[in-house]
Amino acid sequence: FWVMVGALADLAERSQLFRIAPSRSLRRLMGLPKTVWSTAGAHFGLGVTVLGIVVVSGFETELITTMQPGDQTELSGYTIQYEGERLLQGPNYVTEHADFLVSKDGGKLRTLASEKRNYTARRMPTTEAGIQTFGFSQIYVSLGDKTPEGARVVRVWHKPMITLIWLGTVLMALAGAYSLTDRRMRVAAPKQAKKQAVGQAL
């Protein structure tokens, strides 16, 4: 939050926000160089990414349980219902495909699919976790092995605010790209090189 507020405070300081007339402050703000805007955007994006990392690291929850078709389990306010599974044939693998219904606080049901694949050529099993996004948070569901009773081991993660990590990264990338649209950033290096060449000739 400190990094994000600092980025906005820099823009407010440069535009003299709340110290001069709003119209003049807006003109100053719009007249700022592109490098100033890109710097503020990159720092704000960094703050967003760090915020996402901290929240996920501190508040992530996990549940490992066994489920049979029709069973429900709950994690951090989310309800996960196991609908059942079926065996499917992929291009070069056989997969145990399981369907789940996920809802938050009794809201709208969303479908989530998780798979346990076995690549026949290499005889290498892999797990494809199902992911469902709720706002800035995500629910991950991974299939485990079957128990002797026929139930399926299911692993569920709730990762709050995890999409902020990617959102902040996108903001930083866009800010960097925007800085390259500043003509001074594109022509300064060639001019400097030319001056050095002239100096060496003399």
- Structural element, H or E, at residue 92: none
Going through the chain in order, the beta strands assigned E by DSSP cover 61-67, 72-75, 78-89, 93-104, 110-119, 124-128, 130-134, 137-146, 152-159
What's the rounded Cα separation, in Å, for the pair 202 and 197?
9
pLDDT tens track for 1-58 = 999 999 999 999 999 988 899 899 999 989 898 999 999 999 999 999 999 999 999 9
Q: What letters, b where the CB count within 10 A reaches 16 and e where it falls short, cover 138-174?
A: bbbbbbeeeeeeeebebbbbbbbbbbbbebbeebbee
Specify the higher pLDDT residue, 120 or 49. Answer: 49
| % of the chain at pLDDT higher than 90 | 71
Q: What is the predicted pLDDT for the residue at 121?
A: 80
Ranges 95-99, 152-156, 198-202: which has the least confidence = 198-202
pLDDT tens track for 169-201 = 999 999 999 998 877 665 555 555 555 555 555
* Domain assignments of the chain as residue spans, ordered by start: 2-56+164-185, 61-159
For residue 15, give every residue at least 6 positions away whose Cβ sits within 8 Å of its Cβ, in sequence order, or none.
Answer: 25, 26, 28, 29, 32
Mean pLDDT of 92-105: 93
**Residue 106 predicted with pLDDT over 90:** no
